Amino acid sequence: MRWVKGVIFTVLLIIGFAAVGYFYIDYTLQSPKRDTETVIEVPEDTSLKQIGQILKQKNLIRDDRFFRYYTFFRSKTNLIAGTYIIQPSDNIDKIISKISSGKQDLVTIDVPNGFDVEKIALRLSSKLNIKKEDFFKEVNRKEPRTNIEKEIPTKPGRVYKLEGYLMPAKYQFKKGATAQEVVDQMLNKFEKEIGKLDYKNKLQEKNLSLDDWVTKASLVVKEAAVDKEYPMVAGVIENRLIDTKHQWRLQIDAAVIYAWSLQGEKKEKLLKKDLTIDSPYNLYENKGLPIGPIASPGEKALMAVLNPEKSKYFFYVAKNDGSNEHYFGETDAEHRRNIEKSKENATKQ
């Protein structure tokens, strides 16, 4: 009968090891206690192993070694790329089911560098079904909901108070997000990003207000299509503003185009007659800066205004050679020669 006892002992041993193994695997696929939602993003062409690593990094499971095998066991290997919100109560089975369903909880919206309020509104209306009217109301709200809003002046003639302060970035919004929630998130992003630039001390050194800084940066981002030219264009704007001999106007086309867009007219190129539009954004008719920003500048444009490249340039004109760069000139005569070169380049394109 010894052999019977041996068999029973072996079976019990196997069962014991199996139980220990089961509970250990179950333990690794559990997560520590969570009190808040967790957002995970599963990129395209992500393997099961990589998804397991994502879950571990987000503290949704303790260990990812058995994740792949568990998905095979649950017949849930077809996990779909996307952005998902994981609730504190979601266990591994709910997490896998959510990712395999492909039903995303967040909408990703890219706000490019140099977008203005109306372009942002159009993108939000198509992606989040936020009515443009609701968005416009929020960018002109009277009661500030974020700290940065308290520093933004209200000026007569300014069409959108928060123009320029909606930070360019890739955002993730919950489906059904309101215009208020979207604006709050974008303003908080702006405040967070400029906080990295030590801007308060630098603005004080340059005797520049927050609003003038953002306004200048918005001109830079609309005038320079190449990042490396931001400091140069910022320098030209600075030179024209501080020059007392010639009393230059900025004569920035992008601001005039913006002025026309506020009247519902989209212009890609300006004719001479367009330069007489009655608007505080018309920098051919008005001296100094416009009444406010004309677009949302990113970090590089903001930094360029804080650290403009010093030069004797007062002029620039697009090269029109496919490089998106500019010719810079010190005198009116040099500027005219650059204009001729620009015209010659355009005929070759």
Q: Which residue has the higher pLDDT, 259 or 7?
A: 259
Alpha-carbon span 197 to 220, nearest angstrom: 17
Pairing of strands 106-111, 82-86: unpaired
Mean pLDDT (whole number) for 270-285:
94
Report the C-alpha gap between 293 and 143 in whole angstroms: 20
pLDDT one-digit tens code per residue, 331-340 = 999 999 999 9
Between 47 and 118, whose confidence is greater? Answer: 118
Residues 100-125 have a mean pLDDT of: 89
Question: Phi, psi at residue 165, to the nearest 5°?
Answer: -105, 5
pLDDT at 2: 58
Q: What is the average per-residue pLDDT within 306-319?
A: 94
pLDDT: which is higher, 252 or 73: 252
Residue 40 banded pLDDT, cuts 50, 70, 90: confident
pLDDT in tens, 120-158: 999 999 888 899 999 999 999 999 999 999 999 988 889
Query: Worst-scoring range by mean pLDDT, 49-53, 184-188, 278-282, 296-300?
Result: 49-53
Which domains occur in the chain, in start order?
A: 26-101 (3.30.1490.480), 106-195 (no CATH), 201-348 (no CATH)
What does residue 153 show for φ and ψ, rounded to 5 degrees? -75, 155
What whole-number distance in Å separates Cα of residue 251 and Cα of residue 327? 16
CA 331 to chain centre: 38
Listed in sequence order, the residues at least 6 apart from 139 whose beta carbon sits closer than 8 Å to its beta carbon are: 117, 160, 161, 162, 163, 166, 183
**Average pLDDT estimate for 154-164:** 93
DSSP secondary structure letters along 260-280: HHHTT---SS--GGGGG--ST
What single-letter DSSP state applies at residue 225?
S
Instruction: Pick the more confident residue, 259 or 154.
Output: 259
Inform me whether the pLDDT recorded for 14 exceeds 70.
no
Question: In the chain, what percentage of residues exceed pLDDT 90?
Answer: 54
Q: What is the sign of the dihedral through the CA atoms of 91, 97, 99 and 102?
A: negative
Provide the pLDDT for residue 30: 67
| Structure tokens, 51 | 């998804």
Contacts of 48 (CB under 8 A, 6+ apart): 67, 68, 71, 77, 79
Least confident of 68-77, 101-110, 283-292: 68-77
- Assess contact for 178 and 130: CB atoms under 8 A: yes
| Phi-psi map region of 164: left, alpha, beta (phi>0 left; psi -120 to 50 alpha) | left
What one-character DSSP code corresponds to residue 308? P
Report the pLDDT value the prediction gives residue 66, as an integer from 0 to 100. 63
The DSSP annotation for 59-108 comes to TSSS--TTHHHHHHHTT------EEEEEPTT--HHHHHHHHHHT--SEEE
Strand partners, 106: 174
Long-range Cβ pairs for the range 256-261 (8 Å, 24+):
256/281, 256/282, 256/283, 256/284, 258/116, 258/222, 258/290, 258/294, 258/295, 261/116, 261/118
Residues 64-102 pLDDT 10s: 766 777 777 777 777 878 788 888 888 888 887 887 887
Query: pLDDT-derived band of residue 53, with 50, 70 and 90 as boundaries?
Result: confident
| CB neighbours of residue 178 within 10 Å | 15
Q: What's the full length of the chain, in residues?
A: 349
Half-sphere exposure of 37 (CA within 13 A, CB side): 9
Tokens of 268: 């890609």
* Residue 23: pLDDT over 50: no
Residue 9 has pLDDT above 60, yes or no: no
Q: How far apart are alpha carbons 315 and 233 in whole angstroms? A: 9
Is this model's pTM higher than 0.85 or not? no
What pLDDT digit, counting tens, does each position of 166-213 carry?
999 999 888 888 999 999 999 999 999 999 888 888 899 889 999 999
3-state secondary structure 157-200: CCCCCCCCCCCCEEEEEECCCCHHHHHHHHHHHHHHHHHCCCHH
The pLDDT of 258-266, averaged and rounded, is 93
CB proximity list for 152: less than 8 A, separation 6 or greater? 161, 162, 165, 210, 211
Tokens (6 digits) for 113 = 């560098």
* Higher per-residue confidence, 206 vs 10: 206
